[in-house]
Structure 1
Amino acid sequence: MTSNPSTPPIVRKLEESSDPAEHGVSLQAVQKREVVLRVEAESLENMRKRATVRVDQPKGSTFEIICDEGPYLGGDDSAPPPLAYYSASIAFCLLTQLSRYATVKKLNITSMKLAQETRFAMEGSVLQGTLEGRGIEVVTHLDIESDEPEEVLRQMIEVGKNSCFVHQSIMKPVPSTIETKINGQKLSAS
């Protein structure tokens, strides 16, 4: 697939920013930390959206990410849809935690890959205001090549699953609040 030079990239780094004092902090054996991300997003033409994502804690870089929807939702299919980013974040986060564990424990891992199926459902009516989406399930298949004992790898998988922020947000849902302004005025809670 060739890219059109006039089409902006789907993901691009806007600002490089990290604190050398924080390098390798997440590779410590014992941790107590909080990760904070800030996102500003806007709707563009058709179903395209643009988000600016900044990692505030630990101090990290800022990226611009574009998403779109397929023609079935009136989009142009010019970038991954939001659910593709969500699904990828589940896989990326788990692989990060598994890799981090293997590094801290100095495990001999030759290869680590996964295949994942993420399923969602939608029911109801837009016109009647009853439309409701929900997640159905996430099934992850890990493929690990290693000469480490099975029990060591089992422990790595357990710690990886338990320390993966995204998996834990699915298994133990976090509070979510939407505060709205219309024409600059805060919308009162209903």
Structure 2
Amino acid sequence: MGTDESATPIVRKVEELSNPDEHGSSLAPVQKREVVLRLEAESLDNMRKRATVRVDQPQGSTFEIICDEGPYLGGDDSAPPPLAYYSASIAFCLLTQLSRYASIKKLKISRLKLSQETRFSMEGSVLKGTLTGRGVEVITHLEIESEESEETIRKMIEVGENSCFIHQSIMHPVPSTIQAKFNGQSLGPA
């Protein structure tokens, strides 16, 4: 850690890589696809962390993202905390799916804005090993201005929510596995 990590940009593109054959493919009216992302993350100084995120499928670019915590957790508040990225990803994913639907259906949308409140809770003791965190609630408010009918907009919202990977991961939790190595050896389940 000999460099000044706080001077590192919060988000930067590391590698430009996309497949021209896949450009616009997610705008096809009918799809069957899987999105795969690969990520490596490491702790830096204090509470700063760095992740390198690569979009494997469809083939996309690689970005480096920095996060930090506020002083309440011993951080320097030099970048958004992990929960801010998580909250933003919920909003970005939903907006992507709504915009995608509007584009495919050629809807006339003059404004599409989202505000969101994401709530989490934590309780227990670090010292006793009983500390647990959980998501409590995500409240999303959409502002849509359009010449389209109310029925059309309702359908756009329904399809947007149903096709938003992150909303669906919240509503239908996906399996999560942690596999660890300790001093180079595989660490079995806790």
User: Smaller-chain TM-score range?
Assistant: over 0.9
How many matched pairs?
A: 185
- Match of residue 15 from structure 1: 15
Unaligned residue ranges in structure 2 (runs of 5+): 1-5
Q: In the TM superposition, what is the alpha-carbon distance from 1:164 to its structure 2 partner?
A: 0.2
1:38 has 2:38 as partner: yes
- Match of residue 109 from structure 2: 109
Counterpart CA distance in 2 for 1:114 and 1:179 is 36
Counterpart CA distance in 2 for 1:188 and 1:16 is 37
- Match of residue 50 from structure 2: 50
- Match of residue 146 from structure 1: 146
Q: In the TM superposition, what is the alpha-carbon distance from 1:66 to its structure 2 partner?
A: 0.1
1:27 has 2:27 as partner: yes
Give the letter for the 1:153 counterpart.
Answer: I
Residue 114 of structure 1 aligns to a residue whose secondary structure is strand
Give the letter for the 2:80 counterpart.
Answer: P
Map residues 144-183 of structure 1 onto 2, 5 A cutoff: 144-183=144-183
Q: In the TM superposition, what is the alpha-carbon distance from 1:8 to its structure 2 partner?
A: 1.4
Residue 7 of structure 2 aligns to a residue whose secondary structure is coil
- Match of residue 93 from structure 1: 93
Percent of pairs with identical residues: 78
- Match of residue 136 from structure 1: 136
Counterpart CA distance in 2 for 1:125 and 1:75 is 20
Q: In the TM superposition, what is the alpha-carbon distance from 1:35 to its structure 2 partner?
A: 0.1
Q: In the TM superposition, what is the alpha-carbon distance from 1:108 to its structure 2 partner?
A: 0.1
Q: In the TM superposition, what is the alpha-carbon distance from 1:7 to its structure 2 partner?
A: 1.1
Q: In the TM superposition, what is the alpha-carbon distance from 1:11 to its structure 2 partner?
A: 0.1
Residue 87 of structure 1 aligns to a residue whose secondary structure is helix
Q: In the TM superposition, what is the alpha-carbon distance from 1:172 to its structure 2 partner?
A: 0.1
Counterpart CA distance in 2 for 1:48 and 1:68 is 4
Give the letter for the 2:54 counterpart.
Answer: R
Give the letter for the 1:72 counterpart.
Answer: Y
Q: In the TM superposition, what is the alpha-carbon distance from 1:114 to its structure 2 partner?
A: 0.5
Residue 9 of structure 1 aligns to a residue whose secondary structure is coil
Q: In the TM superposition, what is the alpha-carbon distance from 1:151 to its structure 2 partner?
A: 0.1
Give the letter for the 1:16 counterpart.
Answer: E
Give the letter for the 2:105 counterpart.
Answer: K
- Match of residue 3 from structure 2: none
| Structure 1 runs (4+) greater than 4 angstroms displaced | none
Give the letter for the 1:85 counterpart.
Answer: Y
Give the letter for the 1:116 counterpart.
Answer: Q
Unaligned residue ranges in structure 1 (runs of 5+): 1-5
- Match of residue 3 from structure 1: none
- Match of residue 81 from structure 2: 81
Q: In the TM superposition, what is the alpha-carbon distance from 1:150 to its structure 2 partner?
A: 0.3
1:152-180 residue CA offsets vs partner (Å, 9 max, x unmatched): 00000000000000000000000000000
- Match of residue 65 from structure 1: 65
TM-score by length of 2: 0.96
Residue 155 of structure 1 aligns to a residue whose secondary structure is helix
Counterpart CA distance in 1 for 2:7 and 2:189 is 40
